[in-house]
Amino acid sequence: MTRREIVSSAAEALLLVDEQDREIGVESKQACHAGGGLLHRAFSIFLFNSQDELLLQKRSAQKPLWPSYWSNTCCSHPRAGETMEQAVARRLAEELGIQCTLRFLYKFKYHAAYGSLGSEREYCWVYVGHYDGHPRVNLNEIADWRYVDVSSFDAELAAAPERFTPWLKLEWAEIKQAHLPQILGSAGSQQLVN
């Protein structure tokens, strides 16, 4: 099931942060991603189903940075005046039509340039959750989606890393090293299907 909704704009106000992730102001999404980028707060979500498969999305071809790349379930930014809890729930619904409980894992800072077109310079909060079912994707944001088991995903990353977003690769390495045993096999009752 799919839909088309405009849910983001280059003018939306994102939260600028310092090296300790303290808020220091706001700036437009476009300005945050121009050139070398401005350090701003972001989030990434990884959803697993009860078969321990990860839900991946292929970014829309219309995305200004990393278009048509495969990435984690959902990633975006809290907006000015919005808590992280509000932001992750909003974006899961906007992109995938999903509502579920999320658990915070960790946060980290990274920078990745997309040629000369712009950069991600983010303090990213990483969340995990469990969801069984088919998302209702927003085609303005997502070109495709699929569930993939961990071993197949690892093999794909090793064979063709250029098909995946840089933040996904960084986050997956940390999740595998420090969090995966606690995530897999724990789908249980944490799920709320919308």
Among 94, 120, 122, 171, the one annotated catalytic: 122
Which residues, 6+ apart, have CB-to-CB distance to 122 below 8 Å? 37, 39, 40, 41, 42, 77, 109, 110, 111, 167
Q: How far apart are CA 156 and CA 166, in angstroms?
A: 14
Average pLDDT, stretch 19-27? 97
110: which residues sit within 8 A by CB, 6+ positions away?
120, 121, 122, 124, 166, 167, 170
Pairwise CA distance, residues 135 & 194, whole Å: 9
Mean pLDDT of 108-136: 96
Q: Is 74 among the catalytic positions?
A: no
Residues with Cβ within 8 Å of 156's Cβ and at least 6 positions away in sequence, in order, are 148, 163, 164
Higher pLDDT, 168 or 133: 168
For residue 186, the model assigns a pLDDT of 52
- pLDDT band of 102, cuts 50, 70, 90: very high
Closest CA to 122 of 132, 112, 130: 112
* pLDDT score of 11: 77
pLDDT tens digits, 49-97: 999 999 999 999 999 999 999 999 999 999 989 999 999 999 999 999 9
Asked if 62 contacts 143 with a C-beta cutoff of 8 angstroms, the reply is no
Q: Kindly state which CATH superfamily the domain 12-183 is placed in.
A: Nucleoside Triphosphate Pyrophosphohydrolase (3.90.79.10)
Residue pair 12/33 in contact (Cβ under 8 Å)? The answer is: no
In single-letter form, the type of residue at position 107 comes to K
Catalytic residue among 32, 53, 74, 75: 75
User: Has residue 3 got a pLDDT over 80?
Assistant: no
Q: Domain residues of the chain, as ranges? A: 12-183
For residue 91, give the 3-state DSSP assignment: helix
